[in-house]
Amino acid sequence: MPPKAKPKYYIKYKNLKIRLPYDPCSGFCIICRRKTRSTNLFHWFFKYSNNDVKSNPFLVLKNTIEVCRHHYHIAESIRHISTIKSDMLRKYLKSMDTQTKNNIDKLLRLAQ
């Protein structure tokens, strides 16, 4: 019987597909603390260049959390908001209703 092939796990990082020797996912969402069949790794930001990640694939696990699909989308929204430029953010704030502004204000106070 031929030797069993090593499992291959791929993680997307920017436009790359990086192979790891093991599955880094435990199936546990760090936000809702539920065990689920399908979790995803979410990168808060992409610190490393494509070449850095190609030469050291484990860098894809830095600045990364494991989340369920629902919390992946929320984290993605937070990442987008956190990277928006100030002048554009002012435009969004100007267009918002009071309730949404209050919700944003509450979120910002939690981040302190």
Residues interacting with Zn ion, by CB under 5 A? 29, 31-32, 68, 71
Minimum CB separation of residue 69 from Zn ion in Å reads 8
Residue with tokens 């090593």: 6
DSSP label at residue 42:
E
Minimum CB separation of residue 75 from Zn ion in Å reads 10
How far out from the chain centre does Cα 111 lie?
18
d(CA 22, CA 4) in angstroms, rounded, equals 14
Decide if 64 contacts 43 (C-beta within 8 A). Answer: yes
Minimum CB separation of residue 10 from Zn ion in Å reads 22
Cα angle 12, 107, 39; round to 5:
30
